Amino acid sequence: MLDSFLKENGQFVNFGFEHLLCFSACLVLTGVMLHYGRKYWDADQQVRYVTILCFIGAATQLFKVFYRQYAGIFDQTNDVPLHLCNIMTLVMPFIMWFKWRFMWGVTFFWIMAGCAQSIFTPTLTESLPHYEAVRYWTVHGVIIMAALYGWYVLGYKPTVRDAVNSAIGLNLLAAVIYPVNLALGSNYMYLNGKPPGKTFYDLLGPWPQYILILEFVLVLFFAAILLPFYWKNVKSYLVSTKA
């Protein structure tokens, strides 16, 4: 059992049965947390339960670092938690616990525009029950749930200012990670090359072209994320221009 949990198998297939199963589990987790958080839990419970779940996600991520260090197979080019989703996993417990509205607004767009697509096109090679598969789905499921939880349960509404702060913050973070990649020979945040497998990045051209295209795609994604929250304003404007 332990061997199957730790030994690489390379058997994960995008859009296969396991992908569908794990994707559905992420949706169920999110639905259950949003439903109970809004309908049954008081203010203390709302914060406590989501924080506990976020800490589980963070612990799952950190297990990879400690285990691989202990086993002597730590790879600085892959195992440092510097991918965007990994970073979000480590900070999200504190965002939830302290009800850090500013950082929720910043990370909401990172998660919904970037991390959410990771459950549609996973950059994953290991199949369950390997710990890397468990980590991958736990990390992404938890942070997506937490981002939506802040809106649906805690009552935060994404704003244009949040989107601007998020775009600025993402570029600043990329400016920090890029030289780290050069120093380590790594590709965190996929700034120095495309992720493996068939992903959204394949539609954006070669490196470094896709980095520049991503800046424009970012604006479109952020606008699309904002649209449902401002639909009444947009609808009122459209009606007034026709009058």
For the chain, the distance separating the N- and C-terminal CA atoms, rounded to the nearest angstrom, is 69
pTM of the model: 0.89
Over residues 99-138, the pLDDT tens digits come to: 999 999 999 999 998 888 889 888 888 888 888 999 999 9
pLDDT of residue 166: 96
Q: Which of 75, 60, 76 is nearest to 143 (CA)?
A: 60
**Banded pLDDT at 41 (limits 50, 70, 90):** very high
Amino acid at 90: L
Over residues 52-66, the pLDDT tens digits come to: 999 999 999 999 898
